[in-house]
Structure 1
Amino acid sequence: MQNNKVTPVLKRTLGSFHLWGIAVGLVISGEYFGWSYGWAQAGTLGFLITALVIAAMYCAFIFSFTELTTSIPHAGGPFAYAYRAFGPTGGFIAGFATLVEFVFAPPAIAMAIGAYLNVQFPAIDPKWVAVGAYLVFMTLNILGVGIAATFELLVTLLAIFELLVFMGVVAPGFDMSNFVHGGWAGSDSFSPAAFSGMFAAIPFAIWFFLAIEGASMAAEEAKDPQRTIPKAFIGGILTLTVLALGVMVFAGGVGDWTKLANINDPLPQAMKLIVGSSSGWLHMLVWLGLFGLIASFHGIIMGYSRQIFALARAGYLPKRLASVNARFQTPHLGIIAGGVVGIAAIFSDSLIVIGGQPLTANIVTMSVFGAIVMYIISMAALFKLRRSEPNLIRPFRAPMYPFAPALALLLAIVCLVAMIYYNTLLFLIFAAMMLLAYAWFRVTHQARSNAAHDPQLSVLQTAPAKSGK
């Protein structure tokens, strides 16, 4: 029997520019920190190759993912697409993998915010700065999506400006010989160790682009999503690709790049090599550089809250988490719940620091595991829906189908295999979390039966038409 309960909904207020700001803002902290851990694995040249391959994967993925987002504009994003294609179990895999990605990314960014402020104020504890960041930006997200999205757009524009300033200031001191010296995992020539390092560096190349797909979770709050979302996604991935390559190359060419590996603030340290520790340029970078971290931190809080909201609304998480604040029309309990998990992660050094890797590197890797699993099932859902629902309205169709989504799917599988090989213990922890979540999924089937009917998640039972046009 169909459940006729009213489905909780979110308010539509976002245009193309706001969505572009969310798409870029979600990711832009990846240009400020995190990626330099890849240099420690592969060297500058090895990591450059890895980053170019990952950039190709993301371009293929986003052009394909946009078809799903415009066809099924749902706050659950990948959860909704996989549910539509593969049913409740497919929705579970995509939904909880996305949740891991979006809940584990913010504590890494919060720690980087603490590290940047520590440059200016060495006496402060980065962890308590991280907790303060959570409290401030959870509150801002609760106050309303219009306010949150406008703030996101503003800090994203400031973050882009600051990255351009960084490249301009260090450009006079750039020397390609610095970038290529020891560029193959510490060697000047390619070796098997360099090849191995390129695969080990995959999570940190993904960090350049991680979470751009989170803009899909604002689809229920977008005006005319079929038109605005493609503009936001395509403009976003092109913006991020140019910035990522520019920042990486300029930072690696200013001096001894090995001093920038395994730290949370590579850009201020790179600029310090050129302008000195007392320069006004350096202090400006530290302060304005915070905008890049804040943009992603704030945007991912927005993303994880919508994922929690969508999963709870569908009965995959406790029903209370689908509550919408009566005054601000935001999923306030979802915002708070994700923040509690993130703050716990910040203080869980003994559980998350594994294999001698820094805390931030391991949180980044855990987040990437969730992302890659979600990418794989999303591309599989695209292929499945093309066959099972050829009459589904597709305002945007993936270009170069089936080659672009097939390339994204193949590269995502290669990334997952390589990550499991180089991060086996972290993968086992990730797998254990997914299994525990699946046990919850199995024992709470009645909650899904009682959930409000959501037509966007309905799998068509009629025979497909002959034409997919």
Structure 2
Amino acid sequence: MNTEVVPQHAAPTGQTRLKQTLGPWQLWGIAVGLVISGEYFGWSYGWATAGTLGFVVTSMLVAAMYATFIFSFTELTTSIPHAGGPFAYAHHAFGPLGGYLAGAATLIEFVFAPPAIALAIGAYLNVQFPELSPKHAAVGTYVVFMALNIVGVQIAAAFELIVTLLAIFELIVFMLVVSPGFSLAHFVKGGWSGIDHFSLHALPGMFAAIPFAIWFFLAIEGVAMAAEEAKEPKRSIPIAYISGICTLVLLAIGVMLFAGAAGDWTKLANINDPLPQAMKIVVGAKSGWLHMLVWLGLFGLIASFHGIILGYSRQIFALARAGYLPRYFDKVHPRFRTPHRAIIAGGVIGIAAIYSDELITFSGHTLTANIVTMSVFGAILMYIISMLSLFRLRRTEPTMERPFKAPFFPYFPAFALLSALVCMGSMLYYNWLVGVVFAGLLLAGYIYFRMTGHQRAVVPLDLLLEHKQELQPEHGGNGPAL
């Protein structure tokens, strides 16, 4: 039995708040920027199992899950605007064990998403420079952006908004350039898992494609980590979340439709750069449009990659600071005052994943597909715990201040929870080897969690639940806010 004392949520004070500077547009830029790389790659693996039409159905069901989840998750974000995000919500609702599960799931999601994005960056660069190994380019991307984060370079909200707008602009350009070759006959041919008409035999492929439909929207919940810095969070966060999910749904439909209708869509499945390859079909390999897509498309991938590095480093640092990970990782660089150990730790895991072909390439899936699936496992578990936290807090703390309440409660969160459970069950069935690895990571973390209760017993309450802490090198002196 867990005997840890469960601290109560502490209200923020003026000295523990981050400066509130982000408006709805900037938060929208963060929401879409974190996810925009999912429009450029990853989703086409779903075509390999579900076909084009089957994957459209899967994607729309997943989009409905995300829409109801975001409406519900916004209640938690505005009620407990903590930089730890889901970790704080679950800790508040279920105590240390709940905090561990949500924190571990979020960490797996954010640590395994970057290597998949890095591989996509490598694939895009390989289009421009065929002699450049995609893996070497991916590792180089890690080194550059880890170094930038360590020396204190962060994506300013204005820059994030600019690169997000550029990435969206490029997706629109892609659709316009391939439109001359648009043919629904191309898109629907064998569009039900290789079957030219719908059949019950297509259903297994549609369920198996769930992780790649989730990739379209994965990490949009990362806006929760910026909730403390939002001006008028009651108004700005719901606007950012809702407009963000609408933007991503429209882009997902457009990208899938125009790419699949450009030619033989089967040549775009199981690759990391479906958009350049789709454009090649229409304009040829030497077209200037293709080169523009590669270079501008990198903005979308880099926006997500850099943003998620910031996310995983904060998660590692926050969990270590709260006693859930070794305290070694809660130190900051003596000169740059950044969580350099947390940044490097997540990068080492990501680089190891990139070169772990024999360990990660199994179940008939590619390396990138399995990395995506691992990240999605973490996300889905976090979604489940977050919705359970919402229900529990509604029951145990009915008087909590809720600036934004989930509409159509309990139906929206119930649909999101049920959909997430269905996704988890389907993923376990079709990706059981990845699921075993995922469960092994959680089990190893749980053993550490049970063995280190003494670490959390001496952690000040505000480090577990307060909204902002200052980085302190070796726990001495005052450092700048992260």
Q: Is the 8 A contact 2:322 2:463 kept in 1?
A: no
Q: Does 1:418 align with 2:426?
A: yes
Show the counterpart of 1:88.
Answer: 96
Residue 215 of structure 1 deviates from its aligned partner by 1.4
Q: Is the 8 A contact 2:322 2:464 kept in 1?
A: no
Show the counterpart of 1:449.
Answer: 457
Which residues in structure 2 correspond to 1:227-238 (within 5 Å)? 227-238=235-246
Between the aligned partners of 2:303 and 2:388, the Cα distance in structure 1 is 31
Show the counterpart of 1:64.
Answer: 72
Q: Is the 8 A contact 2:380 2:424 kept in 1?
A: yes
Between the aligned partners of 1:322 and 1:399, the Cα distance in structure 2 is 38
> Which of residues 23, 26, 40 is equivalent to 2:31?
23
Between the aligned partners of 2:157 and 2:452, the Cα distance in structure 1 is 34
- Give the counterpart letter for 2:427 in structure 1: M
Show the counterpart of 2:82.
Answer: 74
Between the aligned partners of 1:66 and 1:346, the Cα distance in structure 2 is 34
> Which of residues 335, 340, 350 is equivalent to 1:332?
340
Show the counterpart of 1:54.
Answer: 62
- Give the counterpart letter for 1:303 in structure 2: G
Show the counterpart of 1:408.
Answer: 416
Q: Does 1:33 align with 2:41?
A: yes
Report SS of the residue matched to 1:317: coil
Q: Is the 8 A contact 1:13 1:223 kept in 2?
A: yes
> Which of residues 169, 172, 184 is equivalent to 1:176?
184
Residue 295 of structure 1 deviates from its aligned partner by 1.2
Show the counterpart of 2:168.
Answer: 160
- Give the counterpart letter for 1:184 in structure 2: W
Between the aligned partners of 1:233 and 1:388, the Cα distance in structure 2 is 26
> Which of residues 388, 397, 415 is equivalent to 1:389?
397
Report SS of the residue matched to 2:22: coil
Residue 148 of structure 1 deviates from its aligned partner by 4.1
Residues 79-121 of structure 1 show CA distances to partners (whole Å, capped at 9, x for unaligned) of 1101100110011111001100100000000001000000111
Among all aligned residue pairs of Structure 1 and Structure 2, give the percentage whose two residues are the same amino acid: 70
Most deviating of 156-165 and 220-229: 220-229
Between the aligned partners of 2:82 and 2:464, the Cα distance in structure 1 is 7
> Which of residues 258, 263, 267 is equivalent to 2:266?
258
Q: Does 1:346 align with 2:346?
A: no
Residue 392 of structure 1 deviates from its aligned partner by 1.1
Report SS of the residue matched to 1:277: coil
Q: Is the 8 A contact 1:325 1:332 kept in 2?
A: yes
> Which of residues 81, 98, 109 is equivalent to 2:106?
98
Report SS of the residue matched to 1:92: helix
Show the counterpart of 2:275.
Answer: 267
Residues 198-256 of structure 1 show CA distances to partners (whole Å, capped at 9, x for unaligned) of 00000000000011101112223444434432222112111111101110011110111
Q: 1:225 to 1:314 in 2, by over 3 A?
A: farther
Show the counterpart of 1:466.
Answer: none
Between the aligned partners of 1:12 and 1:456, the Cα distance in structure 2 is 21
Residue 151 of structure 1 deviates from its aligned partner by 3.1
Show the counterpart of 2:437.
Answer: 429
Between the aligned partners of 1:8 and 1:141, the Cα distance in structure 2 is 23
Between the aligned partners of 1:405 and 1:356, the Cα distance in structure 2 is 34
Q: TM-score, normalised by structure 2?
A: 0.90
Q: Is the 8 A contact 1:8 1:324 kept in 2?
A: no
Q: Is the 8 A contact 1:313 1:452 kept in 2?
A: no
Q: 1:339 to 1:223 in 2, by over 3 A?
A: farther
Q: Is the 8 A contact 2:155 2:306 kept in 1?
A: no
Q: 1:228 to 1:140 in 2, by over 3 A?
A: farther
Between the aligned partners of 1:356 and 1:197, the Cα distance in structure 2 is 13
Q: TM-score, normalised by structure 1?
A: 0.93
Which residues in structure 2 correspond to 1:371-390 (within 5 Å)? 371-390=379-398
CA RMSD of aligned residues (A): 2.2
- Give the counterpart letter for 1:80 in structure 2: A
> Which of residues 115, 129, 153 is equivalent to 1:121?
129
Residue 174 of structure 1 deviates from its aligned partner by 0.6
Which residues in structure 2 correspond to 1:249-328 (within 5 Å)? 249-324=257-332
Show the counterpart of 1:108.
Answer: 116
Q: Is the 8 A contact 2:148 2:154 kept in 1?
A: no
Residue 454 of structure 1 deviates from its aligned partner by 1.9
Between the aligned partners of 1:59 and 1:365, the Cα distance in structure 2 is 21
- Give the counterpart letter for 2:32 in structure 1: V
